[in-house]
Amino acid sequence: MMNLPTWITVSRLLGAPFVLILLLDPTPLRTWWAVGIFLLAASTDWVDGYLARRLDQVTDLGKFLDPLVDKLLVFAPLLALIELGQVPAWGVFLILMRELTIAGWRVNPTFQTQSVPGANLWGKAKTVLQIAAIACLLAPLPAIGHQIGMVLFWAAVILTWVSGWLYMMPRSADD
């Protein structure tokens, strides 16, 4: 069933095509628009989660769509950044590999040795770091902005792997 939080989740996905279209011809104005749309879309992740809990409307559909939409929203600009020569493809591949592994882990019960938890603090931190890195790398900032963006990008790659490793670690009954 599509409730308000789920509709907000789906609406987040609508930002990705606009970001990509604006980056087809990346003038400073178009790039700032792309950054703004990306950050606006990314901010709805908090809104839909808050509303789902507050309105007691957490659904299996929402729990499935939310991380999927997050990944699509993150990978659209990352792929554009590869095309624009801003980030190396192999760095994005490392993020993609982790994300696909965790997605497979969540949906395939043969890989699970216990119940699969939802996103934890590490997973949320890696998403925030990915979003910050993407925003810095997209923004038409002076060279120092790009350097900061690259530091954030590689920190996001590392945190993405750390959070994936922690997610898949066996948990004791006390956790």
CB atoms closer than 10 angstroms to residue 22: 22
Three-state secondary structure string covering 31-99: HHHHHHHHHHHHHHHHHHHHHHHHCCCCCHHHHHHHHHHHHHHHHHHHHHHHHCCCCCHHHHHHHHHHH
Question: pLDDT tens-digit profile of 8-61?
Answer: 999 998 999 999 999 999 999 999 999 999 999 999 988 988 888 899 888 888
Mean pLDDT of the chain: 86
Q: Residue 155 phi/psi, 5° resolution?
A: -65, -40
Of the candidates 121, 120, 102, the residue with the CA atom closest to the CA atom of residue 112:
102
173 has pLDDT over 60: no
Question: pLDDT tens-digit profile of 127-143?
Answer: 899 999 999 999 999 99
Three-state secondary structure string covering 124-155: HHHHHHHHHHHHHHHCCCCHHHHHHHHHHHHH
pLDDT for position 111: 54
Rg, the chain, Cα only: 17
Structural domains of the chain in order of their starting residue, each with its CATH number: 4-168 (1.20.120.1760)
Of the candidates 27, 32, 74, 52, the residue with the CA atom closest to the CA atom of residue 118:
52
Taking residues 98-120, what's their average pLDDT?
A: 65
Task: Return the minimum-mean-pLDDT range out of 40-44, 112-116, 144-148, 168-172.
Answer: 112-116
